[in-house]
Amino acid sequence: MSSFAAGIRALGSGLGIILRSPRLLLLGAIPALISALLLLGTLGTLIYFSGDLTTWMTPFADGWAEFARKGLRILLGAALVGAAAVLGSISFIALTLLIGGPFYEHIAEKAEEQLGLDTSDDGAGFARQLGRGVRDSLKLVAVAVVGAVVLLIIGFIPVAGQIAGVVLGALFGAWVISLEMVGLVFQRRGLAFGRRHRALREHKAMTLGFGLPAYLLCLVPVLQLLVIPAAVVGGTLLAHRVLEPVTSE
């Protein structure tokens, strides 16, 4: 529990730093707003066309009794929208960091300076670090897609699948958000994506303490504009806590 609380404190510290720095808050909110508008528009389009999509996906049900046909398509539509919402909520962070990478790098460095943390890097140039960040973001999106597919399959299990999907979706989202938010420090030091995953796995309770509230708060419209820059700072603190002195891989 103390490790879980330490993760919560990391997010809380990030929130405190952001609230005391309106300029950093504004800088971090702009990419989050762009990402939110893009993903909400995509989700809205899916919901609008979900009826046509489920009909196209289930031609074999055309000859079924009306209640069975409608029941199947409603269940499929709900599962598709649910999986898309989970994928969108997870991909939201990756997309936001991809759009606002330089802004969030600046925010993370300012937070490290305020707290007296080590800001050293592996000496790679801006272009190399940007390329590394893009590759890691694509890997995270791929992980999110695989997770969304698994959750979609679980969602087809009556009753139990819906409950399990919500719980597992929250835990999975928390883990992916933590992976994303510690990335700035790991990338700057030239540490591979796998090293990031191993470091968090060694501190599961702390990681979930940080990631779970961050994920749940990001589901609240508008509030995510504050949560994302706060989580960037909190993730920077978390990265320093889980990293022992290491050399670049």
pLDDT-based confidence at residue 223 (cuts at 50, 70, 90) = confident
Range 126-141 average pLDDT: 67
pLDDT-based confidence at residue 247 (cuts at 50, 70, 90) = very low
Q: How many secondary structure helices (H) and strands (E) does the chain include? A: 11, 0
The tokens of 99 are what? 């759009």
What is the pLDDT, as a whole number, of residue 249? 40
Query: In a 3-state reduction of DSSP, which class is residue 118?
Result: coil
What is the pLDDT, as a whole number, of residue 212? 93
Task: Collect all residues with Cβ–Cβ distance below 8 Å to 10 and sequence separation of at least 6.
Answer: 206, 209, 210, 234, 235, 237, 238, 241
Range 202-214 average pLDDT: 93
> Which one is predicted more confidently, 45 or 191?
45
Of 178, 189, 185, nearest in space to 246 by CA? 189
Angle at 234 between CA 231 and CA 237, to 5 degrees: 150
- The least confident of 9-18, 66-75, 129-138 is 129-138
pLDDT-based confidence at residue 248 (cuts at 50, 70, 90) = very low
What is the pLDDT, as a whole number, of residue 131? 66
Range 131-142 average pLDDT: 71
pLDDT-based confidence at residue 87 (cuts at 50, 70, 90) = confident
> Which one is predicted more confidently, 217 or 131?
217
pLDDT-based confidence at residue 46 (cuts at 50, 70, 90) = confident
CB distance 216 to 167 below 8 Å:
no
Angle at 74 between CA 73 and CA 78, to 5 degrees: 115
Q: Give just the sign of the alpha carbon dihedral 30, 35, 37, 38.
A: positive
220's torsion region: left (phi>0), alpha (psi -120 to 50) or beta? beta
Please report, rounded to a whole number, the percentage of residues in the chain having pLDDT higher than 70. 87
